Amino acid sequence: MKKLVILTGAGISAESGISTFRDTGGLWEQYAIEDVATLNAWIKDKALVTDFYNQRRKQLLQVEPNYGHRGLVELEKQFQVSIITQNVDNLHERAGSSSILHLHGELTKVRSEKYENLVYELTPDKYEVKIGDLCEKGYQLRPHIVWFGEAVPMMEQAIQITEQADILVIIGTSLNVYPAAGLLYYIRTEAPVYLIDPNDVSVSRGNVHLIKKGASEGVKELIKLLQIQS
């Protein structure tokens, strides 16, 4: 089976009702990154940061995967599919994809602010974290999120997966954030690249097949194109 690697960003979850970051009305228009998504923000105001992520978790409980997510599961019949996502939601998991790497962490997990290996899964009935919720060694629980300025622990693994891709698909990311956007440098030159996005995205690579559509329609078209080719 050919290896199909799919890099996803906020745009794949937009049709589920989760706003993207950098589009008009996006999350970074409503909040300042330095107030809620950096280690400094956490040190300055843990309650504010905790509340921001509790709100994201609450929203996640109210939304469902869309065909963008579900169509990628169908592709598993034909390809060995690996998803590398920048998203912190769990919509790929809920759609049923079997191989998902979260580059920027997961909303449904928290970890000790001191011991990074002490990671805990939140459940839908207890998704809210409070100041005073502690790890087993007595330290505050923080979001299991890669904030701006923090290292991206999954990057090495993402590079290895990308290097082995026979085909790469990019869906719903502005490719503004590094190191994630740098994954494009690791694709073999002969591997075709498909990019699904309703807006223009600048890609640092030639020979990219653009599918200028939203995720649901775009994934439908991708499935047709890949069936024709195989």
Residues numbered 175-204 forming contacts with ligand APR, rule: CB under 6 A: 176-177, 197-199, 201
Min CB(190)–ligand APR separation in Å = 26
Q: Is 222 in the site for ligand APR (CB under 6 A)?
A: no
Q: Is the CB of residue 73 less than 8 Å from the CB of residue 95?
A: yes
- Its sign, for the CA torsion 225, 166, 21, 125, is positive
Min CB(130)–ligand APR separation in Å = 24
Read off the tokens for 202.
């600048």
CB within 8 Å of 158: residues ≥ 6 apart: 84, 101, 103, 180, 183
Is residue 102 annotated as a catalytic residue, yes or no? no
Sheet containing 80-85: give its strands across.
Answer: 100-102, 80-85, 3-8, 167-171, 193-196, 208-211
- Binding region for ligand APR (CB under 6 A) out of 11-19, 57-65, 109-117, 128-136: 11-19
Secondary structure in 3-state letters for 39-87: HHHHHHCHHHHHHHHHHHHHHHHCCCCCHHHHHHHHHHHCCEEEEEECC
Q: Is the CB of residue 68 less than 8 Å from the CB of residue 218?
A: yes
Q: Is 104 in the site for ligand APR (CB under 6 A)?
A: yes
- Binding region for ligand APR (CB under 6 A) out of 20-28, 47-55, 136-144, 182-190: 20-28
Nearer to ligand APR, 11 or 112 (CB): 11
Q: Is 16 in the site for ligand APR (CB under 6 A)?
A: no
Q: Is the CB of residue 190 less than 8 Å from the CB of residue 36?
A: no
Q: Is 66 in the site for ligand APR (CB under 6 A)?
A: no
- Report the C-alpha gap between 117 and 138 in whole angstroms: 14
**Contact mark string toward ligand APR, 125..164, x via CB under 6 A:** ----------------------------------------
Nearer to ligand APR, 3 or 22 (CB): 22
Residues marked active site are found at 104
Q: Interface residues with ligand APR (CB under 6 A)? A: 9-12, 14-15, 20-23, 26, 86, 104, 172-174, 176-177, 197-199, 201, 214-215
